[in-house]
Amino acid sequence: MPATKTCRIIPLGGLGEVGKNMTVFEYGGEAIVVDAGMAFPRDEHLGVDLILPDFSYLHSRGKPVRAIILTHGHEDHVGALPYVLRELEVEEVWATRLTLGLVKSKLDEHGLARATKLREAVPANGPVEIGPFRVEFVRVAHSIPDAISVVIESAAGRIVVTGDYKMDHTPVDGMRTDVGRLAELGNLGVDLMLGDSTNAERPGTTPSERKVGEAFRQIVPLRDGRVLVACFASNIHRVQQAVDVAIETGRSVAVIGRSMRKNVNIARNLGYLDIPDDVLLKPEELNELPPYEQLILCTGSQGEPLSALTRIAFHDHATVHIERGDTVIISAKPIPGNELRVHDAINGLAKAGAEVLHEEVAAVHASGHGCAEELRTMIALLRPKAVMPVHGEFRMLAAHARLAREGGIPEDAILIAENGTVVELTPNGASIVDQVETGMTLVDGLGVGDVADVALRDRRHLAEDGVLIIVTTLTSSNGNMVATPELVARGFGEQDALLEEVKEEVVEILEDLLADDITEIKLLQEHLHDGIGQLIYDRTRRRPMILPVVLEV
């Protein structure tokens, strides 16, 4: 088969994990990328702020990326975009209207808005030509408005990237998943489906977003104190439902948290959110109202350390202070890895006297991802010749693969891939052919990619066993010690008796070395490192980081 009829699909993120979704599609020497997401750091990523996909494969191509297409505005699909645009030459970015609004704000903060060509993706407007690809956008329901599936056509075949979706028949904005167009695509023939696997393990169907609004209507009227609702800042539908209930119950609304304020302003300006001006209050105006007339929308549903809800929980917020009788609704599910931080915030709020409602005790959250029956429906609508589960941990990918088998997809046409796997689609079918090197890019403060594995290893070492700094001073004329060695110990439960023994050992090691005429500073440091490290391990069974400093005067 000629090479011109081969489309290469290379996921750089989102497989075997939740977050940093990014997939490359190559055909005829050109490349488009679907999504550019980030992930939250886990506990072992000490000091790391964000985790991005590894862009090195796109660098190695030595050519511009023809386009980046964004399926929706969640951070795990758009959060890496500013960093990608700084590192790579990208000709244009395609996204729906709300997603573009959120992305423009993000690019403005990075000084990239004017340098980037942004194009609006309009569902139901037919395909557009992007390089050698014909690309179509199909509306799907999700937990943020304006989400889409992406259809990518070339001479190699037709690919459908479902994006994140659910089969919500009563969405808040009335914009249902376009099952009619998906069925038409199935009739035309789909050669490969890349399907969201997040809830593949969960049986049944995902509740409609309207169920959350119904829960708010049952909870809020019965509360005499202030009500706080914490959710993802991008969950515009949930914000709208909370505002609607506030209006019905005579409460004014304050929006707290930088990302929440920003997204609410963008959504209102674009017409995706309807909040009358007379309902909105500034946070500092809350004190003018009794608690039963307040509803506060805030960030922090994931227990982020500097978020509004976390600061409120630990009495560190300038304007909001929890009192007995207040109710806090955490309208989100913790992302894997964030559970402990969320529990800490809940405990802090409960200790302050608030009643905390979350998805384990009340119906205050609905996922934006379809469960097993909805994934079966998607497979039945598209009837793909091959299925590649994406967007999820390996157990989720495996569950999606089982659903595909049950849906009649042949075993050899179900591709369980991982980040860096190279899949080739030809008119003869799809198959795994290669693997490229990929990993993650760590953002630490202003540094992108500066934190290597060795730095994380050192941070873990310091966190677990502490540090011991040994400062010794020698005279440059005869190499003798000028003063007693100084020790600076942090974090390993040091004892005075042990430190005295360490000092004596330092003197003994140096005297032996100097007696043998060994004066090279690096050699002295190595011997001190090994000797003192062994002594402390023998006494404590711990290995603090030993940093010998030898000064010459």
CATH number at residue 546: 3.10.20.580
- Does residue 301 lie within any of the structural domains? yes
Residue 283 lies in a domain: yes
Amino acid at 308: A
DSSP assignment letter at 26: E
Rounded to whole angstroms, the Cα distance separating 541 from 550 reads 26
Q: Are residues 108 and 200 in the same domain?
A: yes
H or E stretch covering 219: helix 210-219
Dihedrals φ, ψ of 174, to 5°?
A: 80, 0
Q: What are phi and psi of 28, to 5 degrees?
A: 60, 35
Copy the structure tokens of residue 198. 């997040």
Residue 80 lies in a domain: yes
Q: 230-246 burial by CB neighbour count: b if 16+ within 10 A, else e?
A: bbbbbbbbbbbbbbbbb
196 and 235 together in one domain:
no
At residue 281, what are phi and psi to the nearest 5 degrees? -120, 155
- Residue 1: inside a domain, yes or no? no
pTM: 0.80
Report how far residue 193's alpha carbon sits from residue 371's, in angstroms, rounded to the nearest whole number.
17
Which of 421, 448, 475 marks a domain boundary?
448
Strand partners, 463: none
* Domain of residue 240, CATH code: 3.40.50.10710
With residue 59 as reference, give the H or E element that holds it: helix 56-60
Cα separation, 174 vs 1, in Å, equals 46
- What DSSP character marks residue 291? G
* 28 and 131 inside one domain: yes
304's tokens: 């982020």
Same domain flag for 266 and 307: yes
Asked about 369 being catalytic, the answer comes back as: yes
- Taking the C-alpha atoms of residue 30 and residue 159, their distance in angstroms, rounded to an integer, is 16
Query: Which residue reads 């029956």 in tokens?
Result: 373
Cα–Cα distance between 234 and 91 in angstroms, integer? 27
Are residues 149 and 235 part of one domain?
Answer: no
Beta-carbon contacts of 486 under 8 Å, excluding residues fewer than 6 positions away, are 470, 471, 472
pLDDT at position 458 is 55
- Point out which residues pair with 161 in neighbouring strands: 150, 194
Q: What's the structural domain count of the chain?
A: 3
Q: Which residues contact 209 (CB under 8 A, 6 or more apart)?
A: 141, 143, 168, 170, 171, 172, 237, 238, 241, 366, 368
Domain check: are 200 and 220 in the same one? Answer: no
Question: Is residue 296 in some structural domain?
Answer: yes
Same-domain pairing of 436 and 481:
no
Q: Is residue 460 part of a domain?
A: no
CATH code (residue 174): 3.60.15.10
Q: What is the pLDDT along the chain (553 residues), one digit of tens a residue?
A: 344 689 999 999 999 988 899 999 999 999 999 999 998 776 554 556 678 898 889 989 999 999 999 999 999 999 999 989 988 999 999 999 999 999 998 898 888 877 779 999 999 888 999 999 999 999 999 999 999 999 999 999 999 999 999 999 999 999 999 999 999 999 999 999 999 999 999 999 999 999 999 999 999 999 999 999 999 999 999 999 999 999 999 999 999 999 999 999 999 999 999 999 999 999 999 889 999 999 999 999 888 878 899 999 999 898 999 999 999 999 998 877 778 889 999 999 999 999 999 999 999 999 999 999 999 999 999 999 999 999 999 999 999 999 999 999 999 999 999 999 999 999 999 999 999 988 877 765 444 544 455 454 555 555 566 788 888 888 766 666 667 788 888 776 657 788 888 888 888 888 888 888 887 887 888 888 888 888 888 887 777 878 888 887 6
Considering the domain architecture, whether residues 237 and 273 belong to the same structural domain is answered as yes
Task: Characterize 41-67 residue by residue with b for buried, 16 or more Cβ atoms within 10 angstroms of its Cβ, and e for exposed.
Answer: beeebbebebbbbbbebbeeeeeebbb
- Distance separating alpha carbons of residues 195 and 164, to the nearest angstrom: 8
293, 250 Cβ separation under 8 angstroms: yes
Range of the structural domain that residue 116 is part of: 7-204+367-448
| Active-site entry in 72, 237, 369, 391 | 369
Same domain, 470 and 432: no
Neighbours of 384 (CB within 10 A): 26
Same domain, yes or no: 190 and 231: no
459 falls within a domain = no
Domain boundary pick from 297, 329, 357: 357
Q: Same domain, yes or no, for 177 and 222?
A: no
pLDDT at 42: 62
- Evaluate whether residue 224 is within a structural domain: yes
Residues 243 and 312 grouped into a single domain: yes
Predicted local confidence at residue 451, as pLDDT: 45
Cβ atoms of 474 and 506 within 8 Å: the answer is: no
Q: Which of 357, 384, 402 is the last residue of a domain?
A: 357
**CA–CA distance, 155 with 513 (Å, rounded to integer):** 73
C-alpha span between 118 and 129 (Å, rounded)? 15
**Spatial distance between the Cα atoms of 233 and 221, rounded to a whole number of angstroms:** 24
Cβ neighbours around 188 below 10 Å, total = 11
Which member of 196, 326, 444, 465 is catalytic? 196
